[in-house]
Structure 1
């Protein structure tokens, strides 16, 4: 068994544990949610995480405990990537925490998850998480569980989490990371080991699927647009012929029927696109973060293609969104003409809402990709 004494003897530098989790606001008013969050998570750090790490000679630090001056966001990313160990409090699925956790998962380095019972995000529910409740006995139990996880990991090696297995192309039966790998940061690479963009193959496959979704969305928009033009021409003819209102209403009903199927399909594909975006977001942001931290001359040939794919996908998405928003506005005006149009217009409006949210995230990817591409060029 590795004791705290032997652990200290193994390296002149103390082992580091970076604690990822919500911070709260220490300057907020007493009794405010922000102040309560600060006090709660500081308590978890001081009563649970730090003592458990200290038992094995590991120094734990939170983001607000980083002493060096500089860009705090860059410092956090470096701590997430370079620390020997990360303990992540995933309670409530804080977006910043999930992003940092995604960045950590790609490294494949040891990570321990903890979280308040009943507050765990569903999308990482399959990953073993030490759960705690806000009582003294439960916090003591959580501390002991972390100590146990550290003892086993330091003795036998920390197993890679599923995300790291996928990104590194590992099979579930591959062996865990060794203690020696943990000691040197698990960053020893040989010439045949996968590079940065090899690790992102899964992400690229997801981007290909999103590109296919975007193409389907564009095609469906074109179909609806063509049907709308035909209906507009028919309505103009009926108006010029001064036909009875019943005849015009029948034409509107026919138009509503023809666009119902493509409107439903548009909403379905938009929903799939938005769901894929949620799944991909943390991974892509983590990928961009790692690329940013890699010197331009060491990024590899695939990096440029990866960044270009993000930018191209965003351009296509922005164009499609402009088209669907324009059509959605005119369709909304038409919906006031007849109840027949309300259902397809509702489908289109839902698609617009889902795409707007998803494409906003994609725009953030593309902006980062452009900045990285520019840094490589210069």
Structure 2
């Protein structure tokens, strides 16, 4: 991971280290997995990473230690891209950590991997990783290894990892990277690692699925609306005919039964949509931050299409937001009518809450995309 002195000039000394890794939940109940994760990774930061950095007058900070107010996702992306050094704890292959690490690799800036023995993801097994175990003696050893990596890196320079070498190979006019410049015998054209356009394509594929989810949700809402109109008309007829309560209850039971399938489908779609949002959120924000750091005249067609797609997706989502809110509020009132309605109403209400939350997040994407697109046209 460290380049030889013969190949690297004396680099600028890093002053700021951003620590990427799982954090856990400091507010979770004592003894819970989330709280134990928080205590563990805080211990790694305080006992291993921070002291190693401090030895070389490098300030280490985690995401929960960012002092400035603002959008935390945007701040994380900026730290990942702009910090002098990143130390990444890849234990368990946390999805957000892996995406942030991929973004960092593309920058070509100094990065050190650490991870708990037995918890290292297969995807980056070929990259040198400082391993630790939870015993105090092993933590001390990991700290010394980080110190050694920092000492050599500060003196000789940090080796470019594969994604950065490939990207820089594409950016030169001299053809594939030579073994001297890459530190590796393989030329860039033989490497199969994804580039930035591949990352954009993967995000756009996820956004396409979200668009399909929104269309499926619209059709389900329409189906529930039609069933509700039919049931309302039937209940009005029964009331005008002074039908007994048992007849009205039977009508409600039929309505509840007819709602069961579309309400379940709605909740399923909303769950898929919310999960896609969770998986894509950090990636989309990271991509937007990367676009922001790229001069407008250097952005490709794919980048502009990406911004347009985010805005269009938000418009489609906002169109159904008020309808979802109304449907959710109506469902809450229906639950008092009969116990038969509790299950479908629960599905509808939960789906409405999931969609509303996810669509709000999508609006933040679109606002950023609009501002970036305006910067291109000004």
Task: Specify if TM > 0.5.
Answer: yes
Aligned to 1:47: 51
Q: Within 2, Cα distance between the matches of 1:356 and 1:177?
A: 52
Secondary structure in structure 2 of the residue aligned to 1:228: helix
Q: Which runs of 5+ in 1 are unaligned?
A: 25-32, 65-69, 169-174, 183-187, 189-193
Q: Which runs of 5+ in 2 are unaligned?
A: 24-34, 63-67, 170-175, 189-193
Secondary structure in structure 2 of the residue aligned to 1:88: strand
Quote how far apart the aligned CAs of 1:14 are. 4.3
Q: Within 1, Cα distance between the matches of 2:242 and 2:48?
A: 75
**86-95 vs 342-351, which deviates more?**
86-95
Secondary structure in structure 2 of the residue aligned to 1:243: coil
Q: Within 2, Cα distance between the matches of 1:76 and 1:264?
A: 37
Secondary structure in structure 1 of the residue aligned to 2:337: coil
Cα distance change on mapping 1:80 and 1:156 into 2, 3 Å: closer
Residues 329-340 of structure 1: pairs in structure 2 closer than 5 A? 329-340=329-340
The answer to whether the 8 A contact 1:80-1:100 is kept is yes
TM-score of the pair, normalised by structure 2: 0.70
Deviations 1:308-361, CA, capped at 9 Å, x for gaps = 211121222233232122112112211211111111111112212322332232
Aligned to 2:60: 62
Aligned to 1:268: 268
Aligned to 1:231: 231
1:10 aligns with 2:22: no
Cα distance change on mapping 1:349 and 1:286 into 2, 3 Å: same
Q: Within 2, Cα distance between the matches of 1:246 and 1:279?
A: 48
Aligned to 2:291: 291
The answer to whether the 8 A contact 1:157-1:179 is kept is no
Q: Within 1, Cα distance between the matches of 2:293 and 2:144?
A: 35
Q: Within 2, Cα distance between the matches of 1:110 and 1:131?
A: 18
Residues 296-315 of structure 1: pairs in structure 2 closer than 5 A? 296-315=296-315
The answer to whether the 8 A contact 2:200-2:287 is kept is yes
Q: Within 1, Cα distance between the matches of 2:287 and 2:14?
A: 26
Secondary structure in structure 2 of the residue aligned to 1:10: coil
Quote how far apart the aligned CAs of 1:197 are. 4.8
Aligned to 1:349: 349
Cα distance change on mapping 1:2 and 1:100 into 2, 3 Å: closer
Cα distance change on mapping 1:236 and 1:131 into 2, 3 Å: farther
Aligned to 2:29: none
TM-score of the pair, normalised by structure 1: 0.70
The answer to whether the 8 A contact 1:49-1:143 is kept is no
The answer to whether the 8 A contact 2:2-2:149 is kept is no
Secondary structure in structure 2 of the residue aligned to 1:336: coil
Aligned to 1:19: 18
Quote how far apart the aligned CAs of 1:78 are. 5.7
